[in-house]
């Protein structure tokens, strides 16, 4: 049988074939159909123009730093992210403590978030007079097992409690600060004395908020920071209405003016909206500066001004060939301005008479009579 002979001689069986290597070429065959152009709907410019939204424009930052303050704050420790060569494991006891702490924290959080039904008052299930939003009483009753309904009480109800709380702040300032009040792991490196600015308190400070970075009219490049330091804002008007002119110091203008006069060029026109921080219910705003001796002074910001780009009506373009020049000279304060500055200085320099703290058992009528006698000379009650 031929099959048996082939099976016996399987080890000596040789196959005749071509021995070739697989070759790869960086070429493609010709296309069987013609080329087809696909429209490219995207912009060819690599960087796209970004327009800030209204949410970004109206956002109020807690602190605003100027470019020329010289406060280089670096809160990122780059050495922490470097690869550590010694990959030593934790000690066995430390590892056990870490594992136990993670389990305990997770269990405690589940217990605290758990809602208890018997702590809520029963409500009638009816649609008559039903409000489709949570009232203040329902929001107050949405409590957990570890909280109470009257946990938030009104502090400093009486005038005596306010006086005691104010006097306590003077004692608390004398205590050294060893850690942050909200995070005990943050330790202070150096403490500064925070005081009101006795030198500049008589002047009025305002916070100017631009919708975009200031630039010259018809130019995309931003204005240098050294020119922004001496910029001026001036109220102006034309046929289109009132607006605010943003003027930049221009030393290249050769005008025959005395030495005490300076020339400014109109860079941009803005629409404005003013918010008085003293009369509004918003939080107080302050600006601060640091002296060479390490003392920190703060000034009160009385107004907040928001400037937005002015657009002319009817699509008219501004004539860029003619620029508006503002010539400024320094003058002495008039009597009204001097009186206003003196009144602002008296807020820090005047001495009020000592306040009387009535005993706890004193009736309310006697306390009110004592308070009426504590009037500042020269002021009406």
DSSP designation for 225: H
Is 311 found in the same domain as 179? no
What share of the chain has pLDDT > 90, as a percent?
2
Is 200 found in the same domain as 183? no
Q: Which residues contact 104 (CB under 8 A, 6 or more apart)?
A: none
CA 67 – CA 225 distance, rounded (Å): 7
**Residue finishing a domain among 191, 208, 240:** 191
Residue, of 226 and 197, whose pLDDT is higher:
197
Sorting pLDDT into bands at 50, 70 and 90, what band is 119? low
Query: Per DSSP, what are the bridge partners of residue 178?
Result: none
Is 202 found in the same domain as 344? yes
Is 215 found in the same domain as 175? no
Give the Cα-Cα-Cα angle 313, 317, 320 (nearest 5 degrees).
145
Helices marked H in 142-291 — which ranges? 159-173, 225-229
Give the Cα-Cα-Cα angle 266, 226, 317 (nearest 5 degrees).
25
Query: Could you please report the per-residue DSSP string of 62-93?
Result: S----TTS--------GGGGSPPS--PPPPHH
Is 187 found in the same domain as 262? no
Tally of domains within the chain: 2
Give the Cα-Cα-Cα angle 40, 45, 51 (nearest 5 degrees).
110
What would the mean pLDDT of 175-188 be, rounded to a whole number? 87
Q: Give the DSSP H/E element, type plus range, for residue 214.
A: none
DSSP designation for 142: -
Position 250 pLDDT exceeds 80: no
For residue 185, being part of any structural domain is answered with yes
Is 318 found in the same domain as 302? yes
Tokens of 326: 């503002």
Position 326 scores a pLDDT of: 86
pLDDT-wise least confident of 47-51, 59-63, 116-120: 116-120
* Residue 179 DSSP SS3: coil
* Residue 286 DSSP SS3: strand
For residue 366, being part of any structural domain is answered with no
pLDDT in tens, 324-378: 888 888 888 899 999 999 998 888 877 665 555 445 444 444 444 444 444 434 4
Tokens of 48: 């796209």
For residue 202, being part of any structural domain is answered with yes
Asked if 197 and 289 count as a contact pair (C-beta separation under 8 A), the reply is: yes
For residue 56, being part of any structural domain is answered with no
Position 29 pLDDT exceeds 70: yes
Position 1 pLDDT exceeds 70: no
| 307: nearest Cα among 377, 213, 370, 205 | 213
What would the mean pLDDT of 238-264 be, rounded to a whole number? 76
Is 233 found in the same domain as 211? yes
Position 231 scores a pLDDT of: 85
Sorting pLDDT into bands at 50, 70 and 90, what band is 379? very low
| 307: nearest Cα among 245, 250, 264 | 245
Position 24 scores a pLDDT of: 82
Position 122 pLDDT exceeds 80: no
Position 339 scores a pLDDT of: 92
Mean pLDDT of the chain: 71
Is 301 found in the same domain as 258? yes
Position 217 scores a pLDDT of: 66
**Dihedral angle sign, alpha carbons of residues 179, 182, 186, 189:** negative
For residue 70, being part of any structural domain is answered with no
Position 84 scores a pLDDT of: 60
Domain with 159, as residue range(s), is 154-191
What share of the chain has pLDDT > 70, as a percent?
55
Position 380 scores a pLDDT of: 41
Q: Give the DSSP H/E element, type plus range, for residue 303.
A: strand 296-309
CA 20 – CA 16 distance, rounded (Å): 13
Sorting pLDDT into bands at 50, 70 and 90, what band is 72? low
Is 221 found in the same domain as 184? no
Tokens of 188: 């202070």
Position 330 scores a pLDDT of: 82
Position 118 scores a pLDDT of: 58
Is 214 found in the same domain as 344? yes
pTM of the model: 0.48
Highest mean pLDDT of the ranges 111-115, 277-281, 368-372:
277-281
Asked if 265 and 219 count as a contact pair (C-beta separation under 8 A), the reply is: no
| 303: nearest Cα among 203, 174, 234 | 203
Query: Per DSSP, what are the bridge partners of residue 274?
Result: 305
For residue 267, being part of any structural domain is answered with yes
Q: Which residues contact 300 (CB under 8 A, 6 or more apart)?
A: 201, 205, 284, 285, 286
Is 181 found in the same domain as 220? no
For residue 247, being part of any structural domain is answered with yes
Is 237 found in the same domain as 186? no
For residue 337, being part of any structural domain is answered with yes
pLDDT-wise least confident of 7-11, 183-187, 305-309, 377-381: 377-381
């Amino acid at each position: 049988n031929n099959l048996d002979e082939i099976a016996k001689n399987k080890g000596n069986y040789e196959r005749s074939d071509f021995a070739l290597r697989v070759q790869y070429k960086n070429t493609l065959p010709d296309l069987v159909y013609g080329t087809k152009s696909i429209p490219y709907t995207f912009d060819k410019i690599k960087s796209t123009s970004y327009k800030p939204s209204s949410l970004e424009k109206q956002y109020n930052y807690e602190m605003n730093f100027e470019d020329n303050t010289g406060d280089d704050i670096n809160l990122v420790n780059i050495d922490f992210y470097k690869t550590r060569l010694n990959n030593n494991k934790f000690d066995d006891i430390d590892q056990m403590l870490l594992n136990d702490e993670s389990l305990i924290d997770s269990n405690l959080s589940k217990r605290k978030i758990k809602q208890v039904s018997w702590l809520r008052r029963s409500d009638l299930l009816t649609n008559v007079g039903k409000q489709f939003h949570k009232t203040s009483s329902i929001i107050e009753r949405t409590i957990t097992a570890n909280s109470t309904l009257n946990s938030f009480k009104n502090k400093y109800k009486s005038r005596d409690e306010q006086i005691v709380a104010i006097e306590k702040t003077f004692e608390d300032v004398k205590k050294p600060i060893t850690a942050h009040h909200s995070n005990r792991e943050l330790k202070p490196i150096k403490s500064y004395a925070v005081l009101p600015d006795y030198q500049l308190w008589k002047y009025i400070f305002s916070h100017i908020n631009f919708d975009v970075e200031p630039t010259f009219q018809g130019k995309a490049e931003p204005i240098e920071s050294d020119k922004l330091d001496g910029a001026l804002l001036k109220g102006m008007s034309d046929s289109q209405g009132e607006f605010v002119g943003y003027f930049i110091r221009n030393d290249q203008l050769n005008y025959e003016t005395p030495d005490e006069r300076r020339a400014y060029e109109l860079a941009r026109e803005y629409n404005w909206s003013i918010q008085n921080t003293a009369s509004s219910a918003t939080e107080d705003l302050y600006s601060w500066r640091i002296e060479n001796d390490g003392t920190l002074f703060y000034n009160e910001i009385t107004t907040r001004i928001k400037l937005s780009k002015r657009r002319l009506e009817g699509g008219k373009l501004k004539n860029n060939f003619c620029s508006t020049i503002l010539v400024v000279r320094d003058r002495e304060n008039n009597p009204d301005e001097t009186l206003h500055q003196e009144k602002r200085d008296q807020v820090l320099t005047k001495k009020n008479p000592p306040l009387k703290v009535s005993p706890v058992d004193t009736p309310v009528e006697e306390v009110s009579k004592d308070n009426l006698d504590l009037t500042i000379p020269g002021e009406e009650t």
